[in-house]
Chain A
């Protein structure tokens, strides 16, 4: 069983479109995260949710909106996609906030044309 799963694995779309990336964890963790990894492999946190409550909201354009329907899911919706949004997006989860190991999903490679 995959601990943290993301769909889709690859996403190719046109500028201006709206898209969503789904994330699910079956570890029973309370905290979930979204990270962006750019072409230079820099990892940057975007959002963090604890028990469905937003606890980290980095300086991310408001075109990005996380949605947590329950503790096991944290989806990322992106409006009006731009070329600069092209990156690999990772979902992760942990039992506690910050002080515990995070389990990462396999990543979603988003390409905006």
Chain B
């Protein structure tokens, strides 16, 4: 079955960096686009970033562009989110999500359980 397991969350000071990872299994990772979605405490869902199946195309929401970087390793079935210059407003649960339908113009069929990022001095 499809499994997505996030890791790397924790407490970090404003301005510092953190790297999140998502380990995928149970599907053909190398043909699937991967997303990161976040949810601030008590708030709704916010799409953060997308990487195409081959890593050639990357997209970001405006508030993280230039600070966050998404990448993937298809040999290890992992997707990562490098988060630099963290701000208090970046504090959230970060989910990785995917679709098995090929194109990224598809709903997010599968989600991980999330990893919590706290940004505080």
A and B part of one assembly: no
> B residues engaging A (CB < 8 A)?
none
